[in-house]
Structure 1
Amino acid sequence: MKKPELPNTEEKRLETLKALNILDTLPEERFDRVTRMAKRLFNVPIALVSLVDENRQWFKSSDGLSASETPRDISFCGHAILGNSTFYIKDALEDTRFNDNPLVTGDPNIRFYAGHPLTAANGEKIGTLCIIDKKPKKLTEEDLTALSDLAYTVEQELCAIQLSTMDELTNLSNRRGFTLVANHYLNFNKKQNMPATLVYFDLNKFKHINDVYGHSEGDNALQLFASVMKSSFRNFDLLARIGGDEFIALLFNSDLNSADEMIEKLSHHLKSVVSSQELEYEVGFSYGLIECNSLLPSSIESYIQQADNKMYECKHEQKNHE
C-alpha cells in the first residue's frame, strides 16, 4: 500500500480548510443534495464530500457509508488532492498502490474509486467529491466531465458558507444562496440533456394571517409551508425562500407535466397538514411554472422573473373566481 504524499503547500492548505469552520459540523442539505445526485447519476452505492484534514478524511456528506471519517494515510482522497483532475481507479485490486489497503481488503471493500479535488478560492485542494463502488467500473469522458461539474457545485457551496445564504426562519436557501448555485445546476442539467422546471410560489392571504393572528403565527405558516415543500419535492431538488411569503423550487429532470404532478402532491399534503394541526386559517398558494429550456439559454434571474409573472397571472385568475 502506498500512503498519500503531502502537498507542497500543506500548511496553507490546512489553514484554508480550518478557516471554513466546517469540520465536525452537522450534515447540511446543500451538500447531501449533491451526493444524492452523484450516487444516482453514476449508479454507485457510495458518494461522499470528503475533506482531508491533517490526520483524517472527514465526510461532510456521506451517502451509502456509515463511517464519518477514516485515517488519511489509507485514504484514496489523500491521493486525489495532489492533482487538478479526477483521480480515477477502475479496479483497486489491480493497482499496487491500493490492492492491500484496509479499505479494499475490508469494509467498505472499495474496488472502483473516482474523486475530483475540491479547490478553495485561493487554489488550495481541501478535499474531494468522490464516488465509490464495490465492483470494478469504467467511466467515460462524459462521466468524468459530469463528476467535475458536480465537484464545482460543491466548491460553490463551500464558498457560500462564508456568505449569508440561508434563510434562518425556514432553513431553506435565501435568494442569494439560491442564485449562487442555481445557474451551475442548470448548466449541469442541460449537459445531461435533462429538462428542468422552475416554480415560483406566493402564499395566499398571508397578510391576513399576520394582521389577524399575529406575526408569530405568520412565521409558523412560513415554516409549515417550507416543511411541506421539503417533504413533497424530491431530495435533490433546489428549494428557497426568496421573499416574505415567496418561495421557489428548481425541479431537476422534470418537464411541466411532471412539475404539475408534484405541485398537486404538495397541495394535497399541505391541506392534510393544516387540517391535522387544526389551524384557524388556511395556508394556500398561487404558483407559476417556467420550463428552463436548454435551446433558449437564460439566466436563473430571468427564469425567476418569468415564473413570477406566471404566478401573478394565476393569482389574478383565482381572484376573478372568488
Structure 2
Amino acid sequence: MSKSYPLPHDEQDRLNALEEYRLVDTRPDEEFDRLARLASSLFDVPIVLVSLIERSRQFFKSHIGLDLCETSREISFCAHAIMQDDVLVIPDAAKDPRFAANPLVLGPPFIRFYAGKPLVAPGGGKIGTVCLIDSKPRSTFSEEDRRNLGDVAALVMDRMEMRRLDHVRSTSQVRFENIAATSPDAIICSNAEGDVTFWNRSAERLFGYSAEEMLENSGEIIVPESWRQIYESELERLRQGEKMELADRTVELSGLRKDGSEFPAEFSLSTWKEGNTWSVGAIVRDVTERRHNEERLYRLASLDALTDLPNRGAWRECLKEALGAAKPLTVFSLDLDGFKDINDTLGHSAGDTVLKEVALRLKAACHDAIKVARLGGDEFVVLFDGNDARRAEAMAEMLIASISAPYEFSGKRIDVGVSIGIALAPQHSRNPEELLGAADLALYRSKAAGKGSFEIFAPALREVAVARRAFEKELKHAFENGEFELFYQPQIATADRRLTGAEALLRWNHPARGLLTPASFIDVLERKPSAAEVGDWILQAACRQAAEWRALAPDFRIAVNLFEAQFRSEHLPLAVAKALSLSGLPARALELEIVENIFLRNDRATERLFRDLRDLGVGLALDDYGTGFASLSLLKRYPFSRLKIDRTFVRDVHVNSEDAAIVKAILYLGDSFGMDVIAEGVETEAQLDFLKTNGCPEAQGYLFGRPMPAHAFRRFLQTKARPCTPARQLAGGAGS
C-alpha cells in the first residue's frame, strides 16, 4: 500500500537514530520550549514546533502556540521537510497542490505559511524538524531567515545530542565507550577519588591534555578555581557512599585548558556503581559558539534590524511589565507624515536613511524614556514614566520639532513630518493592548486633523472607533447582500450637446441610511480586502449596461473608475478582458479612469500594466488632472488616451484668470500629447461657453444631467436622438 507522504530512502536507519534519543512521548522540557519561544519572536510567527517524525505520526517535543501534542504523519508538513537538506518553505499552503486539501489548512490551525528545517543526527538521519507556522501567507523567506532558522535547529539538535549520550551511557557502558571514541563531545570517566579512567580524543582537543597525561591522574586539573570547592564537595559525597548532588543533571560551568585559559562549558554528569565503588561520567561541550549564536538570535528577536531599536515583541514585554508594576505611564504612538512619498520618489534607500535618523533623534530626545521602539514601517512608540498630561504635551511639541527638521540623502533635502497620539495609564487603560490602542486612536485623530500635530486620547475617540468598526461590518455585508448599485452621469460633446457616453458611479442603498454617495464610504471600501472584487463587479455591470445602450447609441462609451486594489491584484487585464467578453462590449467603448496616486509609484510593473491595458484596446483617462503632482514626463511615459479636468478648475473658469490659465494649459497638453480632454463639474452655460471657445471637446456635469440609476438613464438616452438641452430637471438621483 503506497503512502500519501514521501519516505526517505534510509527510513529504517532514520527511525533507529530517532529511537536513540528517547524523546518521543516525553514531558515538555523548558530547554526546548525556550528555543521555540525564541523562534516565535525572531520570525514573528504564532506557532513553532519541535517535531519528531515517527513511523506513522509526528510528536511535538515543543509546541508553542498549538495545543496538539502530535498529528498523523499522513497530514504532516514535516514529513515533506525531512526529504531535503535545506529549509522547506511553503509561502501559501492553500495554493500548494500538496497541501491545499490538508485538514490542517482547511481547519485549525489553518496553516498558510510553513518553514521547516530538518533536525539531522550525527549519522545523517533526519529525525524531525524545527518548523514555523502562520495562518497568513508570506511572500518571502530570505536567505538570512534560512540561516537563522538553521541556527535555531542546530541549538535544538545540540541539546538533543546531549540527551542521546546520557541515555546511551546509562544503558550500556561498553556501547557508550564505543560511541565516546568518535563523539565530538569530550567524554570523561573517573572514580570516586577523582582519578580519570577514560579520556576520549575530543577531550584531548578540548582541554589540551593527552589521554596518557590524564589517565590515573586527578581530574581536578581541568576544574577552574571558580568551582573547585563544588568539585571537592561532590567527591567527598562519593567517598561517603552518597550520590552526587549534580548527578543526572546538565549544568553550565567553566572548563580549564592546559594553557590556563577558561571557556564556558556544559557538563552533563552521571554516576554509577562498579562493585562497591562509585564511578563518575561527564559529557563536556564547549558552548562558546552556542552562546554566541543564542545571543545573536535573541538580539535579532528583540531588536529592529534597520534602526537597532527594540522591536514590537520587546515593546510588548516592556509595556506589559511596566503596567504589571502598577506604575503611572505615558505612551506615545508616532507615525511619519509623507514617508510613503519618500520611498515612491527617491527609493527605499532614502526611506531607510530617514528611518535610521528618526531613530537616532528619538533616542536623543527621549533619553529618559523607559523604552523607545519601532513597531514596523514608519511606526514608532515611546514609553515614559508618569502620566502628567502637560508634560506629555510639551514632550510631543518637542518631538514634532525635532523629527520634522530636514533630512539629507545623497545631497538632496528630504522633508518629513510626524503625527503623535498619546495615552495615559491608568486613566485610559491598564491593559497593554488597550493602552496602545488608545494611543493609536489618538494618532488617527491627529492625522485626520492635518498631520504634524498631537492628540491626547479621549473616551469619545473609542466610541467613534466602535461606530467605525460597525460601519465597516455593514460595508462588508453590503456587497454580499447586493446593496451596491451603479448610477450613470452623461458625458456630452460641447459643440452640439450630443451624448457621447457616461461615467459609472457607485452608490450604496443602505438599509437604514438610504442612498449613500461614495463620499460616505469609498475611503473605507478602498482599504477593505473586498475592494478588488467590488471593482470587478463594477466593471462587469457597467460593461453589460453599456453594451445594451449601444443599441440606441452606437458610439456610446462607458467610463469606469478603478480602485488601487485592482492594480495590486495583478489580474486587472484579465478582469477587464473578462468583463468585455461577458458583455460583448467593444474594447474601444470602455474607458478606465485612474487617479494619480496609482501610477505615481512610477515603477516598471505599473508601466507594464498600463501597456497591457492599452493593448486590450480600452481607453485610459487620467482623472482629476491638475490637482496632484503628475509631471509631463509621466504623461509621456504612460499611455493615457484622455485627461479629465477637475471640477475645482471649472467652477470659476469664466471669472478667475488663474483657473482659466490652468484649463487652457491642460487643453494645450492634451492636444500636444494627442490625448482627448473632458471637463467635469460643468453646471452653467457660462462655463460651457468658455470650454467651447477654448476647444474642450467634451464635458460632464449637472448642466447636462445628474448621476441617475440605469432605468432613468435609459429614458434619458432615448431623448438624445436630437442634440440635448439643459437637463437640470431630468432624473434627479444622488449627487456625483
Question: Is TM-score (shorter-chain normalized) higher than 0.5?
Answer: yes
CA distance in 2 between counterparts of 1:194 and 1:136 reads: 22
CA separation of 1:193 and 1:29: change in aligned 2, threshold 3 A: closer
Please give the per-residue CA displacement for 1:223-261, whole angstroms capped at 9, x wherever unaligned. Answer: xxxxxxxxxxxxxxxxxxxxxxxxxxxxxxxxxxxxxxx
Letter of the 1:118 counterpart: L
- 2:620 maps to none
- 2:193 maps to none
Describe the SS at the equivalent of 1:84.
coil
Describe the SS at the equivalent of 1:132.
strand
TM-score in terms of structure 1 length:
0.56
- 1:76 maps to 77
- 1:186 maps to 292
Letter of the 1:78 counterpart: A
> Following superposition of structure 1 onto structure 2, how do residues 194-205 of structure 1 map, counting pairs within 5 Å?
none
CA distance in 1 between counterparts of 2:247 and 2:38 reads: 26
Shift of 1:181: 4.3
> Following superposition of structure 1 onto structure 2, how do residues 252-267 of structure 1 map, counting pairs within 5 Å?
none
- 2:106 maps to 105
Q: Is 1:155 matched up with 2:141? A: no
Shift of 1:101: 0.4
Shift of 1:192: 7.5
CA separation of 1:134 and 1:180: change in aligned 2, threshold 3 A: farther
CA distance in 1 between counterparts of 2:301 and 2:107 reads: 40
Letter of the 1:56 counterpart: R
Shift of 1:26: 0.7
CA distance in 2 between counterparts of 1:76 and 1:113 reads: 8
- 1:144 maps to 146
CA separation of 1:191 and 1:60: change in aligned 2, threshold 3 A: closer
Describe the SS at the equivalent of 1:177.
strand
Q: Is 1:128 matched up with 2:129? A: yes
CA distance in 1 between counterparts of 2:288 and 2:29 reads: 17
CA RMSD of aligned residues (A): 2.9
CA distance in 2 between counterparts of 1:90 and 1:71 reads: 22
- 2:8 maps to 7
CA distance in 2 between counterparts of 1:90 and 1:44 reads: 13
- 1:177 maps to 266
CA distance in 2 between counterparts of 1:40 and 1:82 reads: 27
CA distance in 2 between counterparts of 1:76 and 1:195 reads: 25
CA distance in 1 between counterparts of 2:10 and 2:129 reads: 17
Please give the per-residue CA displacement for 1:277-301, whole angstroms capped at 9, x wherever unaligned. Answer: xxxxxxxxxxxxxxxxxxxxxxxxx
CA separation of 1:174 and 1:187: change in aligned 2, threshold 3 A: closer
Residues 42, 298 of structure 2: 8 Å contact kept: no
> Following superposition of structure 1 onto structure 2, how do residues 307-318 of structure 1 map, counting pairs within 5 Å?
none
CA distance in 2 between counterparts of 1:147 and 1:67 reads: 22
CA separation of 1:27 and 1:180: change in aligned 2, threshold 3 A: farther
Letter of the 1:158 counterpart: M
Residues 22, 164 of structure 2: 8 Å contact kept: no
Shift of 1:24: 0.4
Shift of 1:177: 2.8
CA separation of 1:173 and 1:62: change in aligned 2, threshold 3 A: farther
Describe the SS at the equivalent of 1:100.
coil
Residues 89, 114 of structure 2: 8 Å contact kept: yes
> Following superposition of structure 1 onto structure 2, how do residues 219-234 of structure 1 map, counting pairs within 5 Å?
none
> Following superposition of structure 1 onto structure 2, how do residues 216-295 of structure 1 map, counting pairs within 5 Å?
none
Please give the per-residue CA displacement for 1:68-114, whole angstroms capped at 9, x wherever unaligned. Answer: 00000110000000110001100001101101101100111000000
Letter of the 1:41 counterpart: L
CA distance in 1 between counterparts of 2:59 and 2:7 reads: 17
CA distance in 2 between counterparts of 1:181 and 1:54 reads: 33
CA separation of 1:189 and 1:3: change in aligned 2, threshold 3 A: farther
CA separation of 1:29 and 1:86: change in aligned 2, threshold 3 A: same
Letter of the 2:152 counterpart: L
- 2:23 maps to 22
Residues 50, 128 of structure 2: 8 Å contact kept: yes
CA distance in 2 between counterparts of 1:183 and 1:144 reads: 19
Residues 5, 79 of structure 2: 8 Å contact kept: yes
Number of equivalences: 196
Residues 153, 184 of structure 1: 8 Å contact kept: yes
Residues 92, 137 of structure 2: 8 Å contact kept: yes
Residues 146, 188 of structure 1: 8 Å contact kept: no
CA distance in 2 between counterparts of 1:35 and 1:93 reads: 25
Greater relative contact order (Cα 8 A, min sep 6): structure 1 or 2?
1
- 2:118 maps to 117
Shift of 1:163: 3.8
Gaps of 5+ in 2: 167-184, 186-244, 254-264, 268-284, 303-736
Residues 156, 180 of structure 1: 8 Å contact kept: no
CA distance in 2 between counterparts of 1:37 and 1:22 reads: 21
Describe the SS at the equivalent of 1:147.
helix
CA distance in 2 between counterparts of 1:66 and 1:193 reads: 28
Using the TM superposition, name which of 155-164 and 48-57 deviates more.
155-164
Residues 91, 111 of structure 1: 8 Å contact kept: yes
Letter of the 1:159 counterpart: E
CA distance in 1 between counterparts of 2:48 and 2:301 reads: 24
Please give the per-residue CA displacement for 1:137-178, whole angstroms capped at 9, x wherever unaligned. Answer: 12111111100111111111111113459x858966343437
Residues 112, 133 of structure 1: 8 Å contact kept: yes
Gaps of 5+ in 1: 197-322
Residues 160, 177 of structure 1: 8 Å contact kept: no
Residues 189, 195 of structure 1: 8 Å contact kept: no
Rg bigger for which structure? 2
Letter of the 2:105 counterpart: V
| Percent of aligned positions that are identical | 43
Shift of 1:186: 1.0
Residues 50, 77 of structure 1: 8 Å contact kept: yes
- 1:43 maps to 44
Residues 43, 301 of structure 2: 8 Å contact kept: no
CA distance in 2 between counterparts of 1:45 and 1:194 reads: 17
CA distance in 1 between counterparts of 2:119 and 2:144 reads: 19
CA separation of 1:149 and 1:103: change in aligned 2, threshold 3 A: same
Describe the SS at the equivalent of 1:161.
helix
